[in-house]
Structure 1
Amino acid sequence: MSDALETGTPPRRRRSDARRSIDAILGAARTLLAERPDASMEQLAAAAGVTRQTVYAHFASRDALISALIEAAGAEAVAALEAANLDALPPADALCRYLDIGWELIRRYPYLLATALARTPPGNEATHTEGAALFERIVRRGRQTGDFDVALPAGWLTAAVVGLVGTAATEVAAGRLGADEAHAAFLASALRLCGVRGRTSGDGVRGRTLGDAVT
């Protein structure tokens, strides 16, 4: 009987209903996982107002659901980076803007710290690689212009800066730093690590020196 009803439903309506269910599940998961990173599929379904069977119809496992969340967040970050037109900015400004966009992503979606920063889930490698490639391009451009130091490999700096994001978020979660303080400390530390010479110019520490940013 259910198959007959499904067959009799117009394809466009089925797609529309499925899209609404998926959006509801992803939206609820973003909110719930930010508060309870260990939330079960049953709890996620309840938060979305759908059955557990509906969740599994769209996402075969909890890992698949989290992977979809990370993919959406990554696409959002890539779109923001593309809109920022970083290649047109001076290297130090481009790096600050890149770091600001990454930090804001973590502030909106803190569950990423327990997943994307620990490992790159299957299916998310392309977004991760795209973001890393842009970071390395900024660093190499800054070295060519003499704005950045050349002491450390660009690939190593990428991994190190990702680690700094996790450290900053941990300090906020533990109550040792406020979000703005953590952002300023993260930005200043990342710029020092990359060997940026002179002032910073990101939104969090605009017009301040690297020393001012962490005092």
Structure 2
Amino acid sequence: MTAAGDTQRRQRADARRNIAAILDAALACLSRDPDASIGDIARTAGVGRVTLYGHFPTRAELVDAVFARTLAEADETLNTVDLTGDPRAALARLVASSWQIVNRHRALLQAAQRTIGSGRIREQHEIPHQRVQALIKRGRREGVFRTDLPTTWLMAAFHNVLHGAADEIAAGRLNEKAAGRTIVATLLAAFTAPGQLVQQVPL
């Protein structure tokens, strides 16, 4: 192997380490402050601004990258959730994992909303949306979830309740330990067809 080849490999390895450090730092900084600056992120990552800009030419590109990575990691977690069986119990299991992710990354979402825009956020949420949509549609087919309202509206209710719970926790109006039960109870009441008994399920 030539010296030039060794140098290129070291440079690529250094670049990968720098990118990982920058993304880790961006997540940490933006989770504390959605308006964290490039300078704050570079210092936390232990790299210079020139190095950071070499990988992410704009703050928007950095926010987009860390948001995409965070969603991909969340998707890996949610892929392990058992969504078979009673749709109500499956909903409770999905909420148990989802709400904590939403709560943990609330400030990062705010940074994304301020930086990359709603269209890009919707695009990156496509896979999580498909997961919720499939569960709601199955619940409707099996006569468990209401069919008098559009599936898209029930999906919006799911996401809005989760994000609303995160806001309430941050404001000190919702006890974090009670959040999962509160979200599930709210969604089951919203999803149950009129005239049917709302059946609570354990978390």
CA distance in structure 2 between the aligned counterparts of 1:120 and 1:11, rounded to whole angstroms: 39
1:181 to partner: Cα distance: 2.5
| Residue in structure 2 matching 1:122, options 116, 120, 123 | 120
Q: Cα deviation per residue 1:15-49 (whole Å; 9 max; x = unaligned)?
A: 21111111111111211212111111011111111
1:91 to partner: Cα distance: 1.1
CA distance in structure 2 between the aligned counterparts of 1:179 and 1:147, rounded to whole angstroms: 28
| Residue in structure 2 matching 1:185, options 169, 182, 190 | 182
Residue matched to 1:75: 72
1:190 to partner: Cα distance: 2.1
Q: Structure 1 unaligned runs (5+)?
A: 1-6, 207-215
CA distance in structure 1 between the aligned counterparts of 2:189 and 2:121, rounded to whole angstroms: 33
Residue matched to 2:58: 61
Larger relative CO (CA 8 A, sep 6+): 1 or 2? 2
- Report the AA paired with residue 70 of structure 1: F
| Residue 201 (structure 2) pairs with residue 200 (structure 1) | yes
CA distance in structure 2 between the aligned counterparts of 1:168 and 1:129, rounded to whole angstroms: 21
TM-score, reference length from structure 1: 0.80
Residue matched to 2:100: 104
1:116 to partner: Cα distance: 5.2
- Report the AA paired with residue 103 of structure 2: R
SS at match of 1:10: helix
Residue matched to 2:89: 93
RMSD (Å), alpha carbons: 2.3
| Residue in structure 1 matching 2:138, options 136, 141, 161 | 141
The question of whether the paired residues in 2 share the 8 Å contact of 1:93 and 1:200 is answered with yes
CA distance in structure 2 between the aligned counterparts of 1:55 and 1:150, rounded to whole angstroms: 50
The question of whether the paired residues in 2 share the 8 Å contact of 1:30 and 1:69 is answered with yes
1:117 to partner: Cα distance: 6.7
TM-score, reference length from structure 2: 0.84
Q: Percent identity?
A: 36
SS at match of 2:177: helix
1:139 to partner: Cα distance: 0.7
- Report the AA paired with residue 100 of structure 1: A
Number of corresponding residues: 194
1:79 to partner: Cα distance: 1.4
SS at match of 1:122: helix
CA distance in structure 2 between the aligned counterparts of 1:187 and 1:113, rounded to whole angstroms: 22
CA distance in structure 2 between the aligned counterparts of 1:124 and 1:51, rounded to whole angstroms: 32
1:9 to partner: Cα distance: 5.9
